[in-house]
Amino acid sequence: MHPKEYRILVLNPGSTSTKIGVFDNERCVFEKTLRHDTNEINAFNSIIEQYEFRKNTILEALDHEGINITKLSAVVGRGGLLRPIEGGTYEVNDDMLTDLRNGYSGEHASNLGGIIAYEIAQGLHIPSFIVDPVVVDEMDQIARFSGVPEIERKSIFHALNQKAVARRVAKSLNKNYHECRFIVTHMGGGITVGVHNNGRVVDVNNGLHGEGPFSPERAGTVPIGDLVSMCFSGEYYRDEVMKKLVGNAGLVAYLGTNDAVKVEKMIEDGDEKAKIVYDSMSYQIAKEIGSAATVLKGNVDAIIITGGLAYGKEFVKTISDRVDWIADVIVQPGENELQALAEGGLRVLTGEEKAKVYPNEKSFSSKEIPVN
């Protein structure tokens, strides 16, 4: 290998899959999506318990491909539910590992990204990083109010892919991302709709803890009175309610699967329940996009639709039909996360950027506003 070439292993644990890639500088030489069905994931009580399973799956896939990990220069993982921080590449350190293991801002598969990256890298005496974690927080202050002073709206979303795809689309339009006004909709295990205003995601639904459309495995916004009644019915422990909302909600709850390909097959086979549930999910996504357009006062350069569900042409059409009066709809199926992780790591390895140090807390908070 050329001395200036770096071999980077990138790891992207999502709720329905673990995606891995090996890059020589920015060139992908291997990539694989390891899918996990609901039963496989439900065998674990918590995300952290999935650590051995996900790590072994990754190492087996690399071994199967004949990739010698001792040749790696760095390992980069998708960052998880840390404290709210600005975007960028962060070296994994002890404070970060503690927050990922404890799920500082909650539980999500991406918490394992930094932990597994660190564990693999440590054995090889190479650095490990995370890039643009799901807690990247650029929300405008006006967007932070929930209506209940003790509860603040949070920015938890597909930051890595939303930013990467938005930059790519801006380039294709011969524009700078920092001059564009986009609504980016990522549709994966979770679904998030981000308002990108001149390079900042100024508002976005919390894709993990119950805001916005329901998704393959999450509830999104639910009627709060009924939720409070459910919590105090005496029928459930806290963890059971949480699992009902995150993991066992959405398509999983109604149709028994988080796999949209299976749902599309059910619809093709004439399953009417599958049809109305799937239509309802696209209806809710379109409503969220409509709401996001108001943040930009209707001045939207493009609506970008991305993530695994964006491969479903009919599904995307049902959304576009409701929102294409707002702006052009640009569909970018799948995600660019592996590439974005590799490039984030490479920028630090080449010295183009310095790795940021965690924690790097932001101070925006509706709680800090003087009320009189």
The Cα angle at residue 321 between residues 317 and 323, in degrees rounded to 5? 115
Say which entry of ligand LANB7ZPL, ligand ADP, none residue 208 contacts (CB below 5 to 8 A, set by partner kind). Answer: ligand LANB7ZPL
Rounded Cα distance, 287 and 274, in Å: 20
Record the tokens describing residue 145, joined without a space: 């109010």
- H-helix or E-strand spanning residue 147: none
Beta strands 74-78 and 128-131 are parallel
Task: Name the residue with the smallest CB distance to ligand LANB7ZPL.
Answer: 190
Instruction: Give the residues lining the site for ligand LANB7ZPL (CB under 6 A).
Output: 14-15, 108, 134, 156-158, 188-190, 207-208
Name the residue nearer to ligand ADP (CB basis): 177 or 311.
311
* One-letter identity of residue 329: V
Q: How far is the CB of 328 from ligand ADP (least distance, A)?
A: 22
CB–CB of 32/64 below 8 Å?
A: no
Cβ neighbours of residue 10 closer than 8 Å, sequence gap 6 or more: 20, 21, 22, 23, 75, 76, 77, 338, 341, 342, 345
Instruction: Give the residues lining the site for ligand ADP (CB under 6 A).
Output: 14-17, 188-189, 216, 258-261, 264, 307-309, 311-312, 335
Closest to 206 (Cα-Cα) out of 217, 190, 222: 190
Say which entry of ligand ADP, ligand LANB7ZPL, none residue 24 contacts (CB below 5 to 8 A, set by partner kind). Answer: none
Say which entry of ligand ADP, ligand LANB7ZPL, none residue 207 contacts (CB below 5 to 8 A, set by partner kind). Answer: ligand LANB7ZPL
Say which entry of ligand LANB7ZPL, ligand ADP, none residue 258 contacts (CB below 5 to 8 A, set by partner kind). Answer: ligand ADP
Name the residue nearer to ligand LANB7ZPL (CB basis): 190 or 199.
190
Name the residue nearer to ligand ADP (CB basis): 7 or 218.
218
Name the residue nearer to ligand LANB7ZPL (CB basis): 243 or 275.
243
Name the residue nearer to ligand ADP (CB basis): 100 or 208.
208
CB–CB of 186/308 below 8 Å?
A: no
Say which entry of ligand ADP, ligand LANB7ZPL, none residue 79 contacts (CB below 5 to 8 A, set by partner kind). Answer: none
Name the residue nearer to ligand LANB7ZPL (CB basis): 187 or 267.
187
The β-bridge partners of 171 are none
In order of 36, 54, 103, 157, the CA distances from 309 in angstroms are 16, 23, 27, 16
In order of 25, 53, 61, 252, 305, the CA distances from 124 in angstroms are 19, 20, 18, 39, 38
Q: How far is the CB of 99 from ligand ADP (least distance, A)?
A: 21
Name the residue nearer to ligand LANB7ZPL (CB basis): 127 or 189.
189
SS3 9: strand
Q: How far is the CB of 167 from ligand LANB7ZPL (least distance, A)?
A: 18
Q: How far is the CB of 208 from ligand LANB7ZPL (least distance, A)?
A: 4
